[in-house]
Structure 1
Amino acid sequence: MEGPGRLTGKVVIITGAAMGLGRTICTRHVKEGAGVMFMDIDAQAGEAEASKNPEMTVLVKSDVRLITDWEKASAVVLQRFGNIDIVILLNLDNELIIYIRIEQRWSTGQGEGNNLTTPGIGGDV
């Protein structure tokens, strides 16, 4: 399928979603019909974007360095949309990556991987 609607029924988590490339990716996914969760540490900028299409978006103020924020975000998106199909990780501040321990990133990936595979509809992780 090509064009608008090709992501209808899909659910996307996007980190760094309030500004720049993250905002652009969010906007495009909404136009394509996806449910989108904005994850960003800047709640004000994120809310401004998420409020443009409230039936398709949800904002969770998050610090991607904290596994507790990932757990909170997963719970919110699963409650709102029922599943997670795509996770797009964008870090606007490359310095943040240095502070994220490999174990935490691995744990985060494992947690989201479980949510990505739970529905059993196939796909790529």
Structure 2
Amino acid sequence: MGKLDGKVAIITGAAQGMGAAHARLFVSEGAKVVITDIKEDEGQQLATRLGDSVLFVKHDVASESDWQRVLDQTIATFGKVDILVNNAGITFAKRLQDISADDYVKIFKINQLGTFLGVKTVAKPMVAQGFGSIVNISSLNGLVGGAVGYTDTKFAVRGMTKAAALELAPAGVRVNSVHPGVIETPMISQPGTEAAVKEFAKTIPLRRIAKPEEVSKLVLYLASADSSYSTGAEFVVDGGISAQ
């Protein structure tokens, strides 16, 4: 018996990286999963590989109308929504002096606005059914400083999680944030970042970069009934970085 038998989940930014790892694990635990991303080819290919339990929807997380369309298609296909994993996110390998206003707005729209719209969109059906779990993927940089733009939005996701958790708790809807450290995903493989990431890995107490699946297991815990008394909390998976 799977931990998510009978549950329906939406996972954003799930065409690759951590989102894809979350989707694979959720399906293996019995969930029906709607994976969303702007990367249509990769998203559809993953959905095809995972089978009939998965639906891919092309999705701009910064668009309120796109969020409504995702919700409508989820309910039309699987009948409900029990879990939302706000996983979509971006960053730029740029210094403060080199980030343009357009860069900053793009980071804000995907990381912060996209998370807000996701929470807002699923809150109504979750409240109506009396249960639900929302997992917002923040970052280690939602706890400590890092790149300007990325850090700002990830701190905001942390605060938004707490505010939403307090409002939705009486209705049985839980909201928690996950704070990964350095994870082996395409985000950290941008041009110009490889050497810096390797050097940073030497400073991690566990002396390595995490696999996406290691984050997925924590996300599964928060999505499932195993975490039934956890809401408004931060869950850190960073190899011990924040303990230093």
* TM-score category, normalised to shorter length: 0.7 to 0.9
Structure 1 residue 27 and structure 2 residue 16: aligned? Answer: no
- Residue from 113, 120, 124 that aligns with 1:110: 120
Rounded Cα–Cα distance in structure 2 between residues aligned with 1:31 and 1:109 = 25
TM superposition shift of 1:101: 9.8
Partner of 1:97: 107
CA distance in 1 between counterparts of 2:173 and 2:108 reads 30
Q: Mean alpha-carbon deviation: is it higher for 115-124 or for 35-44?
A: 115-124
CA distance in 2, matches of 1:19, 1:101: 17
Aligned length: 122
Residues in 1 aligned to 2:113 and 2:15: alpha-carbon distance in whole angstroms: 26
Contact 2:62 2:113 in 1 (8 A): no
Bigger Rg over Cα: 2
Show the counterpart of 2:14.
17
CA distance in 2: counterparts of 1:105 and 1:28, whole angstroms: 22
CA contact (8 A) 1:37 1:60 kept: yes
Q: Percent of aligned positions with the same letter in both sequences?
A: 30
CA, structure 1 residues 66+31, in 2 after alignment: closer, same or farther (shift >3 Å)? same
RMSD: 2.2
Please say if residues 26 and 36 of structure 1, whose CA atoms lie closer than 8 Å, have aligned partners that are also in contact. Answer: yes
Structure 2 unmatched runs, 5+: 93-105, 132-171, 176-244
1:73 matched residue in structure 2: 70
TM-score (structure 1 length as normaliser): 0.85
Which sits farther off after the overlay, 100-109 or 57-66? 100-109
1:56-98 CA distance string (max 9 Å, x none): 0000000101011101000000111111111111124136431
Query: Quick one: distance in 1 between partners of 2:3 and 2:27?
Result: 11
Counterpart for residue 84 of structure 1: 81
Asked if structure 1 preserves the Cα contact closer than 8 Å seen for 2:89 and 2:110, the reply is no
Aligned to 2:51: 54
For residues 20-79 of structure 1, the C-alpha deviation after alignment (integer angstroms, 9 at most, x for no partner) is 111001000000000000010001000110012332000000010101110100000011
Q: CA deviation at 1:123?
A: 4.5
The corresponding residue for 2:174 is 124
The 8 Å contact of residues 83 and 119 in structure 1, kept in 2 or not, is answered as no
* Unaligned segments of structure 1, at least 5 residues: none
Letter in 2 for 1:34: A
Q: 1:104 and 1:25 mapped to 2: Cα distance?
A: 18
In 2, Cα distance between the equivalents of 1:23 and 1:111?
Answer: 22
Q: Which has the higher helix share?
A: 2
- Counterparts in 2 of 1:123 and 1:48: CA distance versus 1, 3 Å: same
* TM-score, normalising length: structure 2: 0.46
State whether residues 71 and 122 of structure 2, in contact with CA within 8 Å, keep that contact through their aligned partners in structure 1.
yes
